[in-house]
Amino acid sequence: MSTITLKVNGKAHTVDVEPTTPLLYVLRNDLGLQGPRFGCGLGQCGACAVIINGVATRSCVTPVSGVRAEVTTLEGLSAGGTLHPLQQAWIDEQVPACGFCQNGQIMTAKALLDRNPRPTDAQIREGMARTLCRCMTYYRVQAAIKRVAGRNA
Ligand code: FES
Ligand code: FES
């Protein structure tokens, strides 16, 4: 076991875990952050995405000891109880079906819009392509991202 300090959503946390423990397990089990989900556990679906250094990062395949920068989870988007524009757009477009993948959809969309506030449809499709949804919410995901991008005009 090792003592590891992580900065998550603006707060430092110290945990005592095996260095190879996936970041996802530490976030969910040690810090009680239930936004990131365990989908495939193989880095293939995106349900576990968090943002590190502006990149949507698959926390199920990220060893906690390798994290060198602040981690933002879904819980970190709604500062002060105000929804992030993407979260509001998700409600306005009624995006989720079962909801399981939606953490990954929102976190991946946030990283995309932070890099490119006004993406084209093709850029949205490309940016979101590896974030999987078994309920086929892709069209509503795209509409919600466009709703926020439209406000960035
Ligand atoms: S659970 Fe991490 S990519 Fe699927
Ligand atoms: S909403 Fe069900 S998996 Fe995406």
Per-residue pLDDT at 84 exceeds 60: yes
Nearest protein Cα to ligand 1, atom 3: 43
Could you give the C-alpha distances from 57 to 43, 151, 152, in angstroms and in order?
9, 26, 24
Q: How confident is residue 137, by pLDDT bands cut at 50, 70 and 90?
A: very high
Measured in angstroms, how far is the CA atom of residue 151 from the centroid of ligand 1?
Answer: 30
Ligand 1 neighbourhood includes 27 CB (under 6 angstroms):
no
**Reported pTM:** 0.96
Nearest protein Cα to ligand 2, atom 2: 98
Stretch 25-46: mean pLDDT: 98
Contacts (Cβ under 8 Å, ≥6 apart) of 81: none
Ligand 2 nearest atom to the CA of residue 136, by list position = 4
